[in-house]
Amino acid sequence: MKSPKPSLSVQAVLFDAYGTLFDVYSVGTLAEQLFPGQGEALAVLWRDKQIEYTRLVSMSQRYRPFWELTRAGLRYACARLQLDLTPERETQLLNQYRHLGAFPENKAVLTALKARGVTTGILSNGDPEMLGIAVRSAGYVDDKGQGLLDHVLSVESVQRFKTDPAAYALGPQALGIPARQILFVSSNGWDAIGATWYGYCTLWVNRFKLPLEALDTEPTRTGSSLRDVLDFFPKT
């Protein structure tokens, strides 16, 4: 069994949601049906614009809910790719986004973490309603909010998106322990770097074998699937 260095005494884990637990590119299939030959390009540009918009409004202190920015990103991406986004197609694509596919290994990992007594949660740019639907759809929490996740934290409460420190501060505040004792897990390289800057112990789940962001900062560790989280919490 691989075991973490003794200094990595993490007691809890917070997951990014979009891209990490939920597959933001799973909308590509429907996009391809609606716009043959352009599905992948649309899925990629949609995601890029969505994230770009979170940063613009956050930097400009003009927060808007993630859901609105998700719709805005879709509209821009279709305009840019010259795709005819009818109201019906927009509704279909947004409905798909509301019920994104979850990565297959997630549930086993979350179940194992609970079995090991680890506190778990989400810390996401998503707004509470989106997150609520997504985690219930994936079966991580039941209607009473009980289940595999102890915390579902949305940046909505601070009106700043990641990588603003106010967003990352939600973790230590909710869990009552310092960031260095919390493992923050993201598949988004920039999010893993932002969380590292903030002071978290971090795991970058590099699902697409992308280069590390060239910002002279490394996440604590890099893995390839959510399973790599378990190495931080050895069975006792």
User: Residue 63, interface with its own copies (CB under 8 A)?
Assistant: no
Binding mask 161-190 for its own copies (x = CB under 8 A): xxxxx------------------------x
CB of 203 to its own copies, least distance (A): 19
User: Residue 76, interface with its own copies (CB under 8 A)?
Assistant: yes
Q: Is 216 a catalytic residue?
A: no
Q: Name the residue nearer to its own copies (CB basis): 157 or 208.
A: 208
Binding-site residue total for its own copies (CB under 8 A)? Answer: 33
**DSSP secondary structure of 116-155:** TT-EEEEEESS-HHHHHHHHHHTTSB-TTS-BS-SEEEEG
- Report the residue from 4, 75, 107, 137 that binds its own copies according to the rule CB under 8 A: 75
CA distance 58 to 42: 24
User: Residue 116, interface with its own copies (CB under 8 A)?
Assistant: no
Contacts with its own copies in 200-219 (CB under 8 A)? 210-211, 213-216
- Applying CB under 8 A, which residues contact its own copies? 49, 52-53, 55-62, 72-73, 75-76, 79-80, 161-165, 190, 193-194, 197-198, 210-211, 213-216
Residues marked as catalytic = 16
